[in-house]
Structure 1
């Protein structure tokens, strides 16, 4: 064969006639951006130098040369097969000596898909080899979406194989999409259309099953917006009298224009109606140190502060919102028996839909401030049967959900008499008043006793008049002597 034949590819008609005479082409799948190896092996034992040419068939035009090597060892590349000065397609020199002329394509592109032909001269058992390269790629538009935007996720194979089946996985788990699919019946799952949220964030993988062979391609979808809490209707638990933290954290690199907090009135799920924020509400929490953290807090939670709160943020003219529910817990005590001193403690929450179990823990404090945990009892209510030191200090009610502990609330008691902390503090002034009255009464009794003694002494003196005259005369003389001393 004349070497000059490698310098100019045959006419399209000759190529088409040759393709018809060939067997079915070898199919190779490659993910866009990866490496593809197109096989071409010759079993001839000839030791003569060979010329190799790889060409790609183009629709409606002559095949284009990709890579060519002359018998002299000179190599040539076709236009469009370089990337940043590096050739994307070439044969491995170390394999040429053993008759392996496979073509390696680096950084595969979608447009690389199609039919390739390998020709070797002088020929062997495989003078010409035909390979079909199919390039699989997952395209996400837009790849970085704002929460609530429409996102299109497409699995494409170039050229597309007929009767291929497509399956999707998200973060290595099968994805059950809820949005409408592509209207083309032949490829019902080729395109997914979803609303950008936390549910669709992550690594999307398209698996194409064709003739019993499965090939995959992946791409990542990033959704920016309010990342904490990640979903609406997140329940936050707090106890009466404690501080509550209402999180609202945005993606770090978003340009925040404005933000606001609202409390929604009850039974306003579909059409939220704004209510009044609690008096202890603070629009910024201690942890809010960055512009994308617009969390808030309640300094001292009251039982009536329960309900739904909405955080709003404006990003580039688009408003993002997140609704969260504050569940408030408290302990109510009631006297069962005054004679026995029995008290019932009840753990109450404004919403118990997520609560699966209650647990009471007895906390005892030592003289040096040490803390120890005593008995643990189950149930929503706790009955303390008798007044004893065993029931002093604190009882903590812990409530649990399916994922673990949700929160806790503490009851402070002393000789559990059914009195709350407010009643105990109210009794303190009464005790002080009783002590004061007792001291006053004691002083009055002492005065009355002294007056009684003086009266008895005078009574005894009046029984002896002569003695009274002597005492009176002695007293007058004593007074005169004191006056004379004062004149001197």
Structure 2
């Protein structure tokens, strides 16, 4: 490498009439254009000679129009040469050399020599090939991954900047170019944040070169980060996601509910009764998601799923946030009800919104926004306010979830409803008393009927009974006359 730099300096010093020394960066696999321009006026086309220092002729064209390719550039001519010098640009004084599908070994010093009769013009171009590689090409979550930017030849004194997904990337450790290997290396632990397009930007003597590579990290892709919050309403069903990369088959998968306390090394606790460690509809080996068929307040908290992949244990934690609506009837303001949206963790909540849900005759559902805020006060409770009231809660990225409350028709909530309810109650009580009296009368009539049946079976006894009855009536009359 030092020899090449020395030769470059010597050649630059010795060549007379040199027009320029240009730095060109090209990404490996792309097309590189090595500029060579001249404003010299001539009635005859010049002879053009492109050569690489210490490597001989690359391409040349005689004044007669004959073209020649260097030995290392003329291989596989049946597939077409990787180099060309477009004749259509010669009239404009442009004799640039185009190299397709540039390779690492193409880097080096090139010379463009133009011979206009006795006038000779020569310029130098320094072509540097940039290549970005990721090792391993598809890293496993948690393992070391290296992203390397290699420039051939390496530009001593150049600055290197890394960009990840169009944003500057600042590594944990300072980037120090390895001068011996002529490359810059970033080494990190593989996480989802490292997935995407890596771009190496090299600046040298006012010239910038770029090259990119894509990194894809294998592991648990959903949720992509720890402590992701999952929201569910009390009484509803919820899925706790744990999805691995679709080409991974985890073994020894385990679900745990973590006890409250330290987040560094939390202890596992008991899973809820309605917890199921597998989804009935999932048929993919990489989907380890779990579900709760009916969420209760006690189910809120942190959960952890884990599985072994290629001898490494991968884990992901998430938090189940439970939502409910508390309702209360105001004692001070007659006929009003207060609904309050409650969540077991409100750290990511930015706003609340209340909707009244209605249904038409065909069962179609519609929702009308009523107000924003955590608390809703329903006053005087007209009949149309009965039914479903839904609370939507929002985060920075939009809706996080909702919870619904059913308001039942209740007596005493308003004066109008109270009088109507009292009237209905009085009517029911009156009908009940009348029915009771009728039942008593029927029972007495039935008893008298049965008694007469028994008496009629014995005529002598009947005569005695009538005689006694007549005597009692006579005595009563006599007492009244006295």
Same-fold status (TM-score > 0.5):
yes
Sort the Cα spacing of 1:20 and 1:284 in 2 relative to 1 into closer, same or farther, 3 A: same
1:196 to 190, 195, 201: 190
Secondary structure at the aligned position of 2:327 is classed as: strand
Secondary structure at the aligned position of 1:144 is classed as: coil
Sort the Cα spacing of 1:80 and 1:140 in 2 relative to 1 into closer, same or farther, 3 A: farther
Query: For residues 37-436 of structure 1, what are the structure 2 equivalents within 5 Å?
Result: 37-41=33-37, 43=40, 45=42, 47=44, 52-58=48-54, 63-69=55-61, 73-79=66-72, 82=75, 85-95=79-89, 100-120=94-114, 123=117, 125-172=119-166, 174-183=167-176, 190-337=184-331, 340=334, 342-365=336-359, 369-373=363-367, 376-386=370-380, 388-416=382-410
1:68-90 residue CA offsets vs partner (Å, 9 max, x unmatched): 44566252322266479442223
| Distance in structure 2 (CA, Å) of the matches to 1:367 and 1:17 | 93
Runs (5+) with no aligned partner, structure 1: 1-12, 420-434, 470-488
**Following TM superposition, by how much is the alpha carbon of 1:238 offset from its aligned partner in structure 2, in angstroms?**
0.4
| Distance in structure 2 (CA, Å) of the matches to 1:345 and 1:14 | 84
| Distance in structure 1 (CA, Å) of the matches to 2:434 and 2:314 | 68
**Following TM superposition, by how much is the alpha carbon of 1:190 offset from its aligned partner in structure 2, in angstroms?**
4.2
**Following TM superposition, by how much is the alpha carbon of 1:20 offset from its aligned partner in structure 2, in angstroms?**
2.3
> Partner residue of 2:22?
26
Secondary structure at the aligned position of 1:129 is classed as: strand
| Distance in structure 1 (CA, Å) of the matches to 2:175 and 2:100 | 32
| Distance in structure 1 (CA, Å) of the matches to 2:161 and 2:207 | 13
**Following TM superposition, by how much is the alpha carbon of 1:313 offset from its aligned partner in structure 2, in angstroms?**
2.3
| Distance in structure 2 (CA, Å) of the matches to 1:263 and 1:319 | 18
Secondary structure at the aligned position of 1:199 is classed as: helix
Sort the Cα spacing of 1:437 and 1:16 in 2 relative to 1 into closer, same or farther, 3 A: same
Larger CA deviation: 300-309 vs 158-167 = 158-167
Native 8 Å contact 1:334 1:418 kept in 2: no
**Following TM superposition, by how much is the alpha carbon of 1:442 offset from its aligned partner in structure 2, in angstroms?**
5.7
| Distance in structure 2 (CA, Å) of the matches to 1:158 and 1:138 | 12
**Following TM superposition, by how much is the alpha carbon of 1:94 offset from its aligned partner in structure 2, in angstroms?**
4.3
Native 8 Å contact 1:205 1:219 kept in 2: yes
Native 8 Å contact 2:23 2:207 kept in 1: no
- Kindly tell me the number of residue pairs found equivalent between the two proteins: 432
**Following TM superposition, by how much is the alpha carbon of 1:322 offset from its aligned partner in structure 2, in angstroms?**
1.2
| Distance in structure 2 (CA, Å) of the matches to 1:262 and 1:14 | 67
| Distance in structure 2 (CA, Å) of the matches to 1:79 and 1:217 | 26
Cα RMSD over matched residues?
4.0
1:207-227 residue CA offsets vs partner (Å, 9 max, x unmatched): 333333433222211122211
**Following TM superposition, by how much is the alpha carbon of 1:397 offset from its aligned partner in structure 2, in angstroms?**
2.0
| Distance in structure 1 (CA, Å) of the matches to 2:171 and 2:410 | 56
**Following TM superposition, by how much is the alpha carbon of 1:298 offset from its aligned partner in structure 2, in angstroms?**
0.6
1:1-24 residue CA offsets vs partner (Å, 9 max, x unmatched): xxxxxxxxxxxx999865422355
| Distance in structure 1 (CA, Å) of the matches to 2:326 and 2:138 | 50
Runs (5+) with no aligned partner, structure 2: 1-5, 414-430, 468-482
Secondary structure at the aligned position of 2:53 is classed as: strand
**Following TM superposition, by how much is the alpha carbon of 1:145 offset from its aligned partner in structure 2, in angstroms?**
1.7
> Partner residue of 1:475?
none
Secondary structure at the aligned position of 2:193 is classed as: helix
Sort the Cα spacing of 1:198 and 1:452 in 2 relative to 1 into closer, same or farther, 3 A: same
| Distance in structure 2 (CA, Å) of the matches to 1:266 and 1:25 | 67
**Following TM superposition, by how much is the alpha carbon of 1:384 offset from its aligned partner in structure 2, in angstroms?**
3.9
| Distance in structure 1 (CA, Å) of the matches to 2:76 and 2:290 | 52
1:135-159 residue CA offsets vs partner (Å, 9 max, x unmatched): 2332322332222222222333333
Secondary structure at the aligned position of 2:42 is classed as: coil
1:126-181 residue CA offsets vs partner (Å, 9 max, x unmatched): 44332211223323223322222222223333333344333332222x32424112
> Partner residue of 2:419?
none
TM-score relative to the length of structure 1: 0.75
Native 8 Å contact 1:384 1:416 kept in 2: no
